Amino acid sequence: MSRIPQRFIDDLLARTDIVEIINERVPLKRSGHEFKACCPFHDEKTPSFYVSPQKQFYHCFGCGAHGTALGFLMDYDHLDFVEAIETLAGQLGLDVPREGGGEATPRRDDGRDALYAALEAAGQWYRQQLPQHPQAVDYLKQRGLDGETAKRFGLGYAPAGWDGLLRALGGRHSREHLEQAGLLARKDERVYDRFRERIMFPIRDTRGRIIGFGGRVLGDGTPKYLNSNETALFHKGRELYGLYEARQSRAPLDSMLIVEGYMDVIGLAQLGVNNAVATLGTATTREHLQRLFRIVDRLVFCFDGDRAGRQAAWRALEQAIPVMADGREATFLFLPEGEDPDSFVRRHGREAFDQLLREATPLSRFLLDELTERHPGATMEARAALLHEANGLLRELEDGALKTQLVDALAMETRINPERIAQTLRSEAKSPEGEARRPSVNRSQSVHRTPIRTAIALLLAHPKLTAGLPEVDELPSDDGIQGLPLLHELLETVRTSPNITTAGLLERWRGRPELPHLTRLLEWTVIPGDEALAAEFRDAIERIREQHVSQRLDALLAHARRHELDAAQKQELNDLLTRTRSARRD
């Protein structure tokens, strides 16, 4: 069985900057000695996700997500342990070594492989069903799609019936896995196919693996579109339909077009517009935009020109502003009434559509136009209301040229000095409403601070702390104190791997029951400065020794009340009493 050498993993984590890894996926802002952002693992408006460059560790005070760079890649990019290592190694230009023979490598045994296999089998079955149902083929032809495009996007069909998929796959895939993959639904004790009489659109992750499906009903049934439910693989707020296919196309991606429907993505691709994606039945989220801005610098939102379209565009703008930065561009394209992107290109041609893209309304212009429409009039009250709403948006915008220009434009619109507006933004950013402050956590209530826990927390955060501290050699060796074996194991790891980092230490405990406890202890605030750290660690070790002495004295005295002590026990008791009296005199 082959495995990745532990020394390589330690070295890889030592050479990896977790801030850089996370910032490529979730834009971070400096907050003192740390970096912060809105958590990518749950919805929130006030940042509670913190990344420590010193500890090489992230933690969300909202949902509790935490880990190292490896853990972040596993959870955010949906990679297994080996894939995450290979990703980090690839960014550093390193080959991943293996020890031993065979092809087996450490993997997370969390059942995901079975879900991927079930989804792939379902996609194949849906594709096989499509040519057997003329009504489905006719629908696609009516929408102008050809066979090559349908094949490229893996389109299929879920026929009528409650258990067609279940009967087709039930012999090779367990009912439990089919349900966990979102292919089956349950009502009371009844389990049945989730998708029936629908054109099926496989949704793929960045590696091309099917993670879910969208189904478009034939006829007038409801809902018109049905997506897979949230599963271990599929999260609507993160994924984008067509992103994998867009990245696989040979066309250069200098911008991304965000449209409203699956058929828009596919129809545009058939007409040569290969840079379109769609959200999965949800409004555009901040995470969607962060993913796209990691690929391109320009996004174009495409909406209907009616009031509903402009309202959807405003919601997209609210999500876009916090991820905008100098060098990034977001624009809004509003189509003529009755048109969607696919029909517009078919009717007016690719050149006319490209012209619309070039003339799309910049985010700044759309923001100002909407604000003046929402707060019309030249009264002081209308201007104050406009400025109040604008401030709520702009305080989320990163400082830079775009923010400066928007402040100047607002100053002209409201006839207020731009410096006064900038001052208001700065003051609101420091207010309880505007400040995205680190949530306070009363750790004394959640985890009682003991000498053992203090020593472990210090050692985790500062693995080199014990170098040159003779007190460590005087640590009791027996396991009568809870947590002492774990501290000894940490000390031995640090001794044998003197260059190990905090992240490296945590990864040594991946998959072990102690890991959640270690990560909680790592969040404790410790005294800065090498001398202060060493003093606190020495004090913790001394209190552990005192605790050991106290427990041993109690045990010997209790034994003496029931039985006569032997010579060794009497000598030990005498030594402990002498030591205790000496400590009291000191």
At 385-405, the pLDDT tens digits run: 888 888 888 888 888 888 888
Give the DSSP H/E element, type plus range, for residue 106: none
pLDDT of 533 higher than 80: no
User: From the CA atom positions of the chain, what is the Rg in Å?
Assistant: 30
563 or 74: which leads in pLDDT: 74
Residue 442 has a pLDDT of: 42
154 or 423: which leads in pLDDT: 154
Residue among 331, 341, 348 at smallest CA distance from 256: 331
Residue 331 has a pLDDT of: 96
Residue 427 has a pLDDT of: 62
564 or 26: which leads in pLDDT: 26
Average pLDDT over every residue of 129-150: 94
The 3 state secondary structure assigned to 108-148 is CCCCHHHHHHHHHHHHHHHHHHHHHCHHHHHHHHHCCCCHH
Residue 528 has a pLDDT of: 43
Residue 496 has a pLDDT of: 85
336 or 177: which leads in pLDDT: 177
Tens digit of pLDDT for each residue in 253-295? Answer: 889 999 988 999 999 999 989 999 998 877 888 888 888 887 8
Average pLDDT over every residue of 524-546: 63
Longest dimension (CA), the chain: 103
Residue 100 has a pLDDT of: 65
Residue 178 has a pLDDT of: 94
Average pLDDT over every residue of 23-31: 87
64-70's contacts with Cβ under 8 Å and 24+ in sequence apart are 65/39, 65/41, 66/519, 66/523, 67/506, 67/519, 68/13, 68/18, 68/503, 68/506, 68/507, 69/13, 69/16, 69/17, 69/18, 69/21, 69/22, 69/503, 70/13, 70/503, 70/507, 70/510
Three-state SS at 406: helix
Residue among 65, 78, 161 at smallest CA distance from 119: 78
How much of the chain exceeds pLDDT 70, in percent?
86
Least confident piece of the model among 152-161, 328-337, 432-441, 506-515: 432-441
Residue 154 has a pLDDT of: 96
Residue among 98, 96, 76, 101 at smallest CA distance from 86: 96
Report the C-alpha gap between 564 and 585 in whole angstroms: 30
Residue 20 has a pLDDT of: 86
pLDDT of 440 higher than 50: no
pLDDT of 417 higher than 90: no
Residue 515 has a pLDDT of: 83
Least confident piece of the model among 95-99, 485-489, 577-581: 577-581
pLDDT of 569 higher than 80: no
pLDDT of 180 higher than 90: yes
Tens digit of pLDDT for each residue in 241-260? Answer: 999 898 888 777 889 999 98
Tokens of 183: 């292919």
* CB atoms closer than 10 angstroms to residue 292: 24
Vertex 230 angle, CA 224 and 232, to 5°: 145
76 or 329: which leads in pLDDT: 329
Residue 308 has a pLDDT of: 82
115 or 478: which leads in pLDDT: 115
* CB atoms closer than 10 angstroms to residue 39: 23
Q: Tell me 3's DSSP state.
A: B
pLDDT of 304 higher than 90: no
pLDDT of 567 higher than 60: yes
Three-state SS at 537: helix
471 or 319: which leads in pLDDT: 319
Helices and strands of the chain, counted as H and E runs: 26, 16
Tokens of 35: 């970096």
pLDDT of 526 higher than 50: no
Average pLDDT over every residue of 207-235: 88
Label the pairing between strands 298-304 and 329-335: parallel
Q: Can you tell me which residue has the tokens 């089956």?
A: 184
The pLDDT-based confidence of 135 (bands split at 50, 70, 90) is very high
Three-state SS at 459: helix
Tens digit of pLDDT for each residue in 313-336? Answer: 999 999 899 888 888 999 999 998
Q: Are 12 and 89 in contact (CB under 8 A)?
A: yes
Burial label for 506, CB within 10 Å (0-12, 13-18, 19+), is buried
Tokens of 184: 């089956």
Residue among 110, 105, 152, 154 at smallest CA distance from 128: 154
The pLDDT-based confidence of 452 (bands split at 50, 70, 90) is confident
How much of the chain exceeds pLDDT 90, in percent?
27
pLDDT of 527 higher than 60: no
Q: Is the dihedral of CA 164, 167, 173, 174 positive or negative?
A: positive
